[in-house]
Amino acid sequence: MRKILSFIWETAKIIIIALLIVAPIRYFVFQPFFVKGQSMDPNFENGDYLIVYELTYRFRAPERGEVVVFKYPNDLSQRYIKRIIGLPGETVEIKDGKITISNASGKEVLNEKYLPSGTATPGDMKTTLDQNDYFVLGDNRLASSDSRRWGLLPEEDIIGRVLLRAWPLSAFAAFGVPAY
Residues involved in catalysis: 39, 82
DSSP state of 179: P
Identify the CA nearest to 68 among candidates 54, 57, 82.
82
Identify the CA nearest to 81 among candidates 170, 172, 175.
175
Residues whose CB is less than 8 angstroms from the CB of residue 46 and which lie 6 or more positions away in sequence, other chains included: 35, 36, 37, 38
Long-range contacts at 24-28 (CB < 8 A, ≥ 24 apart): 28/54, 28/55
Quote the strand ranges of the chain, DSSP E.
Answer: 30-34, 49-53, 67-71, 79-86, 91-95, 98-103, 106-109, 125-128, 133-137, 153-154, 158-167, 173-174
CB 174 within 8 A of CB 164: yes
Instruction: Please report which residue ranges of the chain form alpha helices under DSSP H.
Output: 2-28, 56-59, 147-150
